Structure 1
C-alpha cells in the first residue's frame, strides 16, 4: 500500500496532554476501501488518533507525519495548509451527532454541500436543485426521508445519526471517520447505523475508520481491528484474531465488559 492509496497514513505520531502520552509513536495505514475498527480501553488514544487524522487535534512536534489520501495534513507539530481540502474528502460522524438542533433534518443534510457551493447560497438556503435532489436521495437511503422537515432536536438519537451519515453522503466524502457513532444509541439503532457504514464501505467503496467501545460490534462489522492501549498499538490484524488472550492483553481480565451483548 502506498500513501496515495491510503485513506490515512500515520507515521510515528505522538500526542501529549500534560504528563500523559495519549499517542506514543503510533504508525498505521488504512487503505481506501477498508473498514477498520479502533478499539481499546477508555483513554487508550483511539479518539485522539481519529481527531489527529482530521486535523481537529494537533500532534506533538517531532518526526510524526499524517497524510490523508496522499496529502500531508500534519507535520512538525501542526496542521498544514492542505488540511481543509483534505477534510472535504472525509465525512465525520460524531457520538453526539453534531446536527444543528433548530434546523430541519433536510437543512442539516444540505450543509454537506457547503464545500462546493458559494457561501451565500448556504446562508440564503438557495441550494442548487441537484444538491436538493441528492439530499433527499441520501435521506431516503438511510431511512429517514419522512423526517426531512422535522427539527433535528426533536428526532431520536438513531434518526439524528442516520441524518449525519446522509450529510456525509451529500458531502461526497471518499471516506468516513466515525468517533463512537453508536455509544449514545440503543442496540437496535446502533445496529442500523453500523449496517449503513458497512453498506457505504461495501457498495460505495468508501474507506471507514470507526472507534468503538463494543468489541462485539468491531468483530461483527469490521474485517480489521486496530487496538490501542496507553497510547500504543497493541494489536493490528483481522477481527477474527481477537481471541480471549488477546482481549485480556488489551482490556485486562474484565474484558467482557467491553462487549455490548453477552459473550458466548
Structure 2
C-alpha cells in the first residue's frame, strides 16, 4: 500500500432496520491500489461501496468516512461538500446504468455534466474539446467503433466498457466497481477486469472492485478485503488467502464463487 490514503473508513456501521449491513468497519485505500472486495451474499460489499460516496448513509455515532482528506460522511450525516468529492470518484455498477435509448457517445458524455451547463448537456450540445475527450475515453476502453450505437443494442461487455469510459470522462481518480462482471460471460468478464488493471497500472487510478468470483479477485488484485456479516474478516495480500481462510469466510457458498477452477490450496 502507498502511504497516501485516498479513502478511509473509521468505525463505520450501517443498519437497515434491525440488520447491520456494516458493523464497525475500518479500512484505508492507498493511492494507486487495486483492491478486491469479496465476501458472501449479504456481507456488506455493496453497502460499503455506496457508503464511500455517501449514497448510503452510515449510522449515527463515531463512524467516519473520508476521501482525499475530505469528509464524505460522519456521525450519520453526509457532508455538505459531497458533490466535490463525488466528482473524483467513478462508480461502475453491475447493470451498467446506461440510458438504453441514448448512443454510447451520449452516455459517456454524461460524465461531464458536472463541468458544463446542465441545459447544454441535456440537449447534447457538447463543446468540441469535450467531444474529443469522449472519443479518447471510448478508444481507451476499446469501444470507439460503437460510439454511435444505442446502448441497448450493445453487448454487456461493451456497455460495461462504456460505463468505465464515463468514469474516465468524469475525471475520476478512484473507480469503485460493484460486481462489474457479474452480468457478463467469463470472456467478457476477463476483458473488463484486464481493463481495470490496465487503468490502475497505466493511469495510476485507485480501483476497488467487489467480486463474487474469488478466482478473479486472486488473479487480478494484489490486495483483498473480505467482509463477513458486515465485519472485515481479512485484509491483506491476495496470496495470503488460502482455501481454509476462504471456507471460514464463505462457508457453504465456497463452491459457488470460483468461475474457472483457480482455487488456492
Contact 1:256 1:263 in 2 (8 A): no
Call closer, same or farther: CA 1:146–1:2 in 2, change over 3 Å. Answer: closer
Please give the alpha-carbon distance, in whole angstroms, between the structure 1 residues aligned to 2:35 and 2:216: 11
In the TM superposition, 1:22-33 aligns within 5 A as: 22-33=21-32
Structure 2 residue matching 1:62: 3-state secondary structure:
coil
Structure 2 residue matching 1:116: 3-state secondary structure:
coil
TM-score (norm: length of structure 1): 0.97
Aligned to 1:119: 118
In the TM superposition, 1:79-158 aligns within 5 A as: 79-158=78-157
Aligned to 2:74: 75
5+ residue gaps, structure 1: none
Please give the alpha-carbon distance, in whole angstroms, between the structure 2 residues aligned to 1:109 and 1:239: 33
> Segments of 4+ in structure 1 off by > 3 A?
none
Aligned to 1:238: 237
In the TM superposition, what is the alpha-carbon distance from 1:256 to its structure 2 partner? 3.2
TM-score (norm: length of structure 2): 0.96
Deviations along 1:160-206, whole A, 9 cap, x unmatched?
00000111111111110000000000001001110110011000000
Please give the alpha-carbon distance, in whole angstroms, between the structure 2 residues aligned to 1:15 and 1:207: 24
Please give the alpha-carbon distance, in whole angstroms, between the structure 2 residues aligned to 1:200 and 1:7: 16
Alpha carbon RMSD of aligned pairs, Å?
Answer: 1.4
Please give the alpha-carbon distance, in whole angstroms, between the structure 1 residues aligned to 2:114 and 2:252: 47
Structure 1 residue matching 2:59: 3-state secondary structure:
coil
Please give the alpha-carbon distance, in whole angstroms, between the structure 1 residues aligned to 2:95 and 2:142: 19
Contact 1:34 1:208 in 2 (8 A): yes
Contact 1:37 1:218 in 2 (8 A): yes
In the TM superposition, what is the alpha-carbon distance from 1:70 to its structure 2 partner? 0.6
Aligned to 2:249: 250
Please give the alpha-carbon distance, in whole angstroms, between the structure 1 residues aligned to 2:54 and 2:250: 28
Structure 2 residue matching 1:15: 3-state secondary structure:
strand
Aligned length: 263
Please give the alpha-carbon distance, in whole angstroms, between the structure 1 residues aligned to 2:198 and 2:40: 27
Please give the alpha-carbon distance, in whole angstroms, between the structure 1 residues aligned to 2:11 and 2:178: 22
In the TM superposition, what is the alpha-carbon distance from 1:86 to its structure 2 partner? 0.5
In the TM superposition, what is the alpha-carbon distance from 1:22 to its structure 2 partner? 0.7
